[in-house]
């Protein structure tokens, strides 16, 4: 069987956004599934809009997501001669021609067509330019573009799209399109096809925004005598109001970089974007490992309907799709602990809260704490925000914790120091010991254990929710618990 060869050919004109990351991911999944090759090609021929910064941002984004490629990055601009050569071949074979119509002439004809309520398509004026006239005009230095000569005679372009099915466009609907600009530079439509042929691409998996280019590219392949790749045009990613997602409209939240900054795991985020336009045929949403998704991924699973990215206005933390947060949380909770620990460390380092001892003498403690906390967290940043009381002595008491739990009963002013004294004395300071101590004290005082448990949690973490109290006490250790229980009196 023929080797699967796919490509990701971004134009380096901006950051890596969700839509292009999804394209890259599907190509990667397909290549990995079939033991094929993924080619990374930087389509940098639009020199005015291409930047190195953007190229770097795209590559950084791919690397962060763990999307690796087997060939490249190639540069489209390195193959300009070949693109021009193909255009020359088409002209020599009479399958393309030089067009000397000026912009003014074309504008005039367009206006005339519009006045008649017709859509303007290039009318083929220069098809009939004789060789002598062409040479004369070339000698005179008249500017020209190269147009592809769409076959006439009532035929049509037909191809089978993996997602959209059979697509047929009659030749009449396609104008003699430009393949080389008047400045001598080939257009995307030509360069991209030439590169795909040279890179021996077997499957072109790209967004539906390109589906109108495909019939033209099929014509080019046919005219150049090249075999056609399979095409799979993926649905688009829209916002809830059906607008295409874009930075202009939605801001940074459509950039992969935003997710990296806001506590997403690379694979947790990739798992989310995989579901924007693909389904395994069941309700499954979480694929904890890359291998699991590679195994079930098929192009047939690409959905025809456009995907919705549930962008929401409001608190920057929550503007992204809740599903993205939920899936990330599932990864945090269920991934191998050893893989999560370095991410938790990075989050704390970024927040300036990291202590080197947690990678040395206290590594065991750090792992246990991460394991305990992750059951409630959805984002890596939660380790530094919600997790602050566990990793630092400087944390805020939440209002709710003070009002609801510390001020629940004025007598807590006495009870909490009593609990501190108990905990200072018990031996060993472990789960059973701390539990017996809290429950014993409640019994002796004739109060519900819940009163002490909730107040103690508020006292030692400043929070109303969290892991079980005895787990918290043991993780924090005797010393911190005793001090915090005593200090909490100041809030009552």
**Chain positions contacting ligand GLU, by CB under 6 A:** 9-11, 43, 192, 206, 210
Q: Considering the complex, state which of residue 9 and residue 329 has its C-beta at the smaller distance from ligand GLU.
A: 9
Find the length of the chain: 492
β-sheet bridge partners, residue 148: 96
* Residue among 179, 302, 299 at smallest CA distance from 236: 302
Q: Considering the complex, state which of residue 206 and residue 250 has its C-beta at the smaller distance from ligand GLU.
A: 206
Give CA separation, 436 vs 32, 132, 415, 420, 441, in Å.
Answer: 55, 104, 16, 14, 8
CB 294 within 8 A of CB 238: no
Q: At what angle do helices 337-350 and 363-374 cross, to 10 degrees?
A: 100
Residue 225 C-beta: closest distance to ligand GLU, Å: 21
Q: Considering the complex, state which of residue 110 and residue 230 has its C-beta at the smaller distance from ligand GLU.
A: 230
CB atoms within 10 A of CB 347: 21
Residue 461 C-beta: closest distance to ligand GLU, Å: 48
Residue 102 C-beta: closest distance to ligand GLU, Å: 29
Q: Considering the complex, state which of residue 41 and residue 147 has its C-beta at the smaller distance from ligand GLU.
A: 41
Residue 37 C-beta: closest distance to ligand GLU, Å: 16
Residue 72 C-beta: closest distance to ligand GLU, Å: 13
Q: Considering the complex, state which of residue 11 and residue 437 has its C-beta at the smaller distance from ligand GLU.
A: 11
Q: Considering the complex, state which of residue 161 and residue 285 has its C-beta at the smaller distance from ligand GLU.
A: 161
* Residue among 457, 423, 462 at smallest CA distance from 440: 423
CB 52 within 8 A of CB 300: no
Residue 192 C-beta: closest distance to ligand GLU, Å: 5
Q: What is the DSSP string of 289-308?
A: SHHHHHHH--GGGB-SSPEE
Q: Considering the complex, state which of residue 10 and residue 277 has its C-beta at the smaller distance from ligand GLU.
A: 10
Catalytic positions, please?
Answer: 247
- CB proximity list for 328: less than 8 A, separation 6 or greater: 263, 264, 265, 268, 269, 272, 378, 379
CB 463 within 8 A of CB 427: no
- Exposure string of 426-454, with b = 16+ CB inside 10 Å and e = fewer, is eeebeeebbbebbeebbeeeeeeeebbbb
Biggest alpha carbon–alpha carbon distance for the chain:
111
CB neighbour class for 392 (10 Å; exposed up to 12, middle 13-18, buried from 19): middle
């Amino acid at each position: 069987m023929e080797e699967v060869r796919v490509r990701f050919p971004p134009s380096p004109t901006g950051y890596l956004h969700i839509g292009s990351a999804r394209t890259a991911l599907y190509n990667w999944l397909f290549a990995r599934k079939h033991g094929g090759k993924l080619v990374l090609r930087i389509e940098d021929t639009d020199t005015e809009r291409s930047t190195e910064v953007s190229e770097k941002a795209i590559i950084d984004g791919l690397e962060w997501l763990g999307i690796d490629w087997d060939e490249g990055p190639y540069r489209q601009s390195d193959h300009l001669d070949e693109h021009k050569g193909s255009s020359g071949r088409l002209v020599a074979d009479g399958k393309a021609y030089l067009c000397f119509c000026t912009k003014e002439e074309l504008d005039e004809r367009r206006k005339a067509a519009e006045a008649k309520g017709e859509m303007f398509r290039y009318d083929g004026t220069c098809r009939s330019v004789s060789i002598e006239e062409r040479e004369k005009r070339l000698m005179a230095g008249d500017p020209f573009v190269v147009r592809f000569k769409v076959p006439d005679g009532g035929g049509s372009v037909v191809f089978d799209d993996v997602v959209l099915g059979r697509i047929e466009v009659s030749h009449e609907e396609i104008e003699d399109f430009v393949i080389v600009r008047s400045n001598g530079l080939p257009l995307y439509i030509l360069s991209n096809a030439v590169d795909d042929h040279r890179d021996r691409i077997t499957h072109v998996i790209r967004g539906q925004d390109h589906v109108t280019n495909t019939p033209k590219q099929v014509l080019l392949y046919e005219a150049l005598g090249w075999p056609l790749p399979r095409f799979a045009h993926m649905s688009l990613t829209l916002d809830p109001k059906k607008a295409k997602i874009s930075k202009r409209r939605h801001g940074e939240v459509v950039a992969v970089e935003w997710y990296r900054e806001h506590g997403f795991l690379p694979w947790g985020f990739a798992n989310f974007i995989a579901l924007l336009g693909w389904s395994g045929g069941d309700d499954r949403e979480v694929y904890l490992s890359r291998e699991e998704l590679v195994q079930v991924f098929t192009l047939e699973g690409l959905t025809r309907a456009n995907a919705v990215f549930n962008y929401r206005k409001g608190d920057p933390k929550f503007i992204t799709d809740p599903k993205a947060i939920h899936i990330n949380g599932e990864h945090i909770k269920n991934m191998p602990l050893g893989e999560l620990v370095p991410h938790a460390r990075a989050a704390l380092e970024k927040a300036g809260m990291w202590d080197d001892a947690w990678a040395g003498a206290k590594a065991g403690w750090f792992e246990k704490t991460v394991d305990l906390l992750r059951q409630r967290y959805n984002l890596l940043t939660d380790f530094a925000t919600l997790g602050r009381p566990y990793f630092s002595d400087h944390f805020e008491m939440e209002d709710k914790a003070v009002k609801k739990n510390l001020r629940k009963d004025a007598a807590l002013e006495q009870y909490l120091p009593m609990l501190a004294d108990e905990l200072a004395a018990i031996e060993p300071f472990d789960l059973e010991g701390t539990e017996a101590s809290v429950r014993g004290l409640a019994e002796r005082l004739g109060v519900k254990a819940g009163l002490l448990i909730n107040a103690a949690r508020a006292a030692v973490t400043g929070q109303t929710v969290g892991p079980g109290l005895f787990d918290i006490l043991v993780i924090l250790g005797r010393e911190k618990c005793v001090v915090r229980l005593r200090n909490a009196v100041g809030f009552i």
